[in-house]
């Protein structure tokens, strides 16, 4: 029987609420700000929000939190939609906080009319100074004494474009002595003469996050508004606006954001990596972005599995990137087609092979019977991996050496008889013999060898380019180190191999297929593959250090 998973704390809350009939159904939202590409942290939030709705028969809105005109772009909106879909989720409605600008403006006027908001002409420095400190209360200034009529007129003039950026703000009138600093007359609207990606030049005042988020939730009747722990202090303000405006009571719940070793996870930092050309773009396969991981060959299934495995925490923690790689490897093992690719070729001539060539066959995936078989040409001249041969091997070297025997995967046992060197003394070829009775599947030779090696037929070999990736950062937690995270960028995070040869079955490689290059790792075709050469990304190595460590 499948192991029953215990409920996370949000599921417990939802089940209790559903049991007491508090909601007919639940509605969650995923609210990205379109100011960058989504990363694996967002995937966590997506899996949580969409996952809860799915589990409890509810729905999830995709809402673009586009209240800051200067950093947002349509390119990001498109990429976010693509990423959410690719992860396997469907939103009920595609919405934009900017669609609520009229409503939010009306809400602000309601607060003014209730005497709960005022226009303040102070500079941002003055406002900061008057705020007080966590231990001393703040002070209200004379602008807080403005009448309702005066505030309404000034706010309308702000909207009409009469004032310059930064010359006035609208503040909620709450409590300058509140223990929670965010309740000390927070700014709710500011003037910003900037073009907005959707509303164009209609507005020159924009609501602050706190004035937009909760109300947007409420307008949509969101039942569970889930965000990360740093928003805990904002909850009081979230509730205050909803209460003062008398609108649908959405509630905010907080969980720990995902942090992962050897990774930076804020869009601001990822943008620096892109702009300063540390990586080739948002979808560089080294990036922790969803598009980067997709290009690298990670599957949506494995990312969902990872998010499920790490669960929902209420305390900040740092997740081992090895766990993500473990999930990727587990899934790829099930779906990948096995292929042979020699990275650094060493030529072998089979001196006793008299046929010109023959077709052998091998299973595409031993984990999946339905994957079928492929044909692999075998001939007199082959390539093996240079590192699989040693002229003077140490004791426990079981691969090829002078006089030694190994099996070529899916083919025959071979014996090395002679090492051919060039004038410079480098090994350029091995003269070998093969054992005709040792054919895989029909081996009557009675010879036992300790190694099975991958190979390709020289005549049929397809040159391919390989890109191998390593961690982007050299330290587990760059945020905990001194200095800038860029001081810890791994200079060797990309290794390009241009010498590799693949078996001809890879000529039919498709972008949506995944491959295991025997003994070498999981690979996928990169989107930059051109006419001349196929380019493959190594998604992840075969070695499974995380699972071993944790068993
Ligand atoms: P960043 O700090 O990377 O810029 P953000 O929080 O500003 O991220 P938003 O676009 O505002 O990015 O986030 C959309 C949603 O994704 C929010 O609900 C946010 O809480 C959630 N989210 C962002 N980063 C993480 C993370 N690392 N782990 C879990 N959820 C996250
Ligand atoms: Mg944000």
- C-alpha radius of gyration, the chain, whole number: 31
Residues 179, 147: Cα–Cα separation, whole Å: 27
Place 71 in a pLDDT band, splitting at 50, 70 and 90: confident
Same domain membership, residue 147 and residue 83: yes
Is residue 262 domain-resident? no
Q: What pLDDT, on the 0 to 100 scale, is given for residue 3?
A: 56
Question: What's the CA-to-centroid distance between 33 and ligand 1, angstroms?
Answer: 8
Shared domain check, 248 and 271: no
pLDDT digits (tens, 9 = 90+) for 105-145: 999 999 999 999 999 999 999 999 999 999 999 999 999 99
Q: Which of 261, 387, 391, 382 has the alpha carbon at shortest distance from 317? A: 261
Residue 261 lies in a domain: no
Predicted local distance difference test score (pLDDT) of residue 548: 52
Burial class (CB in 10 A: 0-12, 13-18, 19+), 423: exposed
Q: Are residues 516 and 412 in the same domain?
A: no
What are the DSSP calls for 214-260, one per residue? HHHHHHTT-SEEEEEGGGGGGHHHHHHHHHHHT----EEEEEPPP-B
Same-domain pairing of 203 and 70: yes
Question: Which of residues 434, 454, 474 is at a domain's end?
Answer: 454
In a domain, 398, yes or no: yes
**210 CA distance to ligand 2 middle (Å):** 12
pLDDT on residue 1: 45
Residue 530 lies inside a defined structural domain of this protein: yes
Closest C-alpha to 181, from 138, 229, 235: 138
Q: How many domains does the chain have?
A: 3
Give me the residues paired with residue 110 across strands.
Answer: none
Give the closest residue (by CA) to ligand 1 atom 10: 32
pLDDT of residue 544: 67
Tokens read off for 91: 């939103």
Query: 495 is written with which tokens?
Result: 């290794």
Per DSSP (E only), the strands in 73-120 are 94-96, 117-120
Q: How confident is the model at residue 8 (pLDDT cuts 50, 70, 90)?
A: very high
**Closest C-alpha among 166, 178, 167, 187 to residue 132:** 178
* Cα separation, 187 vs 173, whole angstroms: 9
**Pairing of the two strands 357-363 and 373-379:** antiparallel
pLDDT tens-digit profile of 234-276? 999 999 999 999 999 999 999 999 999 999 999 999 999 999 9
Domain assignment present for 417: yes
- CA distances to 25, 107, 123, 181 from 248, rounded to whole Å, are 15, 13, 34, 25
**Domain assignment of residue 316, yes or no:** yes
Identify whether the C-beta of residue 533 lies closer than 8 Å to the C-beta of residue 498: no
| Domain extent for 238 | 9-255
Q: Is the CB of 440 under 6 A from ligand 1?
A: no
Domain boundary among 454, 486, 512: 454
Last residue of some domain: 454, 476, 503?
Answer: 454
- CB of 357 within 6 A of ligand 1: the answer is no
The Å distance, Cα 473 to ligand 2 centre, comes to 23
Residues 183 and 314 in one domain: no
C-alpha to C-alpha distance for 132 and 124, rounded to whole angstroms:
14
Q: Mean pLDDT in the chain?
A: 95
For residue 260, is it within any domain?
Answer: no
For range 53-74, the mean pLDDT: 92
- Output the six-digit token pair for 469: 């990736």
CA 434 from chain centre, in angstroms, equals: 47
Q: Taking CA 211 as the corner, what is the angle to CA 209 and CA 216, rounded to the nearest 5 degrees?
A: 90
Ligand 1 centroid – CA 267 distance (Å)? 9
**Ligand 1 atom closest to the CA of 34, numbered from 1:** 10
Are residues 333 and 345 located together in one domain of the fold? no
Residue 3 forms part of a structural domain = no
Distance (Å, rounded) from C-alpha 190 to C-alpha 311? 38
Is 400 in the same domain as 308?
no
**Do 48 and 186 lie in a common domain?**
yes
Contact 456, 502 (CB under 8 A): yes
Q: What is the pTM of this model?
A: 0.94
Is pLDDT at 99 greater than 80 in this prediction? yes
Task: Indicate which CATH number applies to the domain containing 307.
Answer: 1.10.1160.10
446 and 517 part of one domain: no
Distance CA 83, CA 144 (A): 46
Give which of 120, 248, 270 is closest to 186, Cα–Cα. Answer: 120
3-state class of 301 per DSSP?
helix
**Ligand 1 within 6 A of CB of 289:** no
Domain shared by 529 and 491, yes or no: yes
Closest C-alpha among 119, 98, 280, 305 to residue 202: 98
pLDDT, tens digit, 9 for 90 and up, residues 358-382: 999 999 999 999 999 999 999 999 9
Report the alpha-carbon distance of residue 225 to residue 213 in Å, rounded: 9
Is the confidence at residue 501, as pLDDT, over 60? yes
Q: Which of 42, 232, 264 should be mutated for ligand 1, with most atoms under 8 A from CB?
A: 42
Q: Provide the 10 A C-beta neighbour count for residue 109.
A: 17
CATH number for the domain that contains residue 382: 2.40.240.10
Mean pLDDT of 490-501: 97
Same domain, 45 and 194: yes
Answer whether 288 contacts ligand 1 (Cβ < 6 A): no
Residue 549 has pLDDT above 70, yes or no: no
Look up the CATH number of the domain holding residue 19. 3.40.50.620
List, by residue number, the catalytic residues: 33, 257, 267
3-state secondary structure (DSSP) of residue 497 = strand
Backbone φ and ψ of 533, nearest 5°: -145, 145
Which pLDDT band, with edges at 50, 70 and 90, does 530 fall under? confident
pLDDT tens-digit series, residues 100-115: 999 999 999 999 999 9
Cβ(329) – ligand 1 distance below 6 Å: no
- State whether 125 and 160 are in the same domain: yes
């Amino acid at each position: 029987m499948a192991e029953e998973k215990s409920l996370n704390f949000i599921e417990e809350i939802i089940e209790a609420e559903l049991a007491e009939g508090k909601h007919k159904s639940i509605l969650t939202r995923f609210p990205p700000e379109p100011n960058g590409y989504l990363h694996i942290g967002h995937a966590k939030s997506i899996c949580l929000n969409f996952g809860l709705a799915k589990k409890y028969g509810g729905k999830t809105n995709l809402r673009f939190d586009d209240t800051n005109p200067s950093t947002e772009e349509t390119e990001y909106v498109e990429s976010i939609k693509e990423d959410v879909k690719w992860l396997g989720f469907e939103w009920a409605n595609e919405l934009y906080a900017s669609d609520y600008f009229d409503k939010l403006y009306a809400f602000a006027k309601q607060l003014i009319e209730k005497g709960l908001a005022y226009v303040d002409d102070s500079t941002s420095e003055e406002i900061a100074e008057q705020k007080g400190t966590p231990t001393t209360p703040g002070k209200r200034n004379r602008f807080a004494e403005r009448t309702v009529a005066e505030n309404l007129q000034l706010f309308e003039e702000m909207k009409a474009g009469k004032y310059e950026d930064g010359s006035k703000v609208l503040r909620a009138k709450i409590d300058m002595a509140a223990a929670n600093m965010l309740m000390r007359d927070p700014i709710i609207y500011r003037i910003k003469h900037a073009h907005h990606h959707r509303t164009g030049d209609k507005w020159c005042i924009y609501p602050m996050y706190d004035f937009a988020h909760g109300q947007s939730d409420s307008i949509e009747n969101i039942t569970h508004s889930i965000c990360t722990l740093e928003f805990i202090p904002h909850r009081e303000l979230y509730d205050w606006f909803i209460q003062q405006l008398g609108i649908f009571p959405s509630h905010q719940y907080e969980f720990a954001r995902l942090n992962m070793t050897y990774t930076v996870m804020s869009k601001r930092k990822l943008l620096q990596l892109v702009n300063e050309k540390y990586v080739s773009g948002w979808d560089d396969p080294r990036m922790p972005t969803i598009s980067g991981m997709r290009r690298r060959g990670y599957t949506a299934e494995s990312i969902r599995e990872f998010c499920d495995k790490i669960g929902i925490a209420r305390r900040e923690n740092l997740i081992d990137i090895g766990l993500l790689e473990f999930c990727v490897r587990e899934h790829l093992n099930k779906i990948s087609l096995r292929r042979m690719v020699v990275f650094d070729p060493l030529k072998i001539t089979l001196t006793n092979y008299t046929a010109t060539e023959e077709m052998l066959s091998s299973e595409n995936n031993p984990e999946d019977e339905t994957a079928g078989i492929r044909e692999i040409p075998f001939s007199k001249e082959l390539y093996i991996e240079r590192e699989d041969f040693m002229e003077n091997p140490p004791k426990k070297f079981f691969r090829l050496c002078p006089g030694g025997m190994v099996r070529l995967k899916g083919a025959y046992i071979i014996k090395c008889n002679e090492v051919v060197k060039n004038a410079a003394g480098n090994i350029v070829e091995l003269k070998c013999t093969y054992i005709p009775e040792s054919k895989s599947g029909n081996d009557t030779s009675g010879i036992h060898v300790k190694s099975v090696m991958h190979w390709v037929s020289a005549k049929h070999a397809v040159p391919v380019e390989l890109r191998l990736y390593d961690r982007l950062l050299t330290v587990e937690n760059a945020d905990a180190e001194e200095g800038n995270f860029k001081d810890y960028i791994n200079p060797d995070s990309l290794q390009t191999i241009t010498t590799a040869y693949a078996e001809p079955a890879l000529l039919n490689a498709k972008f949506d297929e995944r491959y295991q290059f025997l003994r070498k790792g999981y690979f996928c075709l990169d989107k930059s593959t051109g006419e001349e050469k196929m380019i493959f990304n190594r998604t992840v190595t075969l070695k499974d250090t995380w699972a071993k460590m944790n068993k």
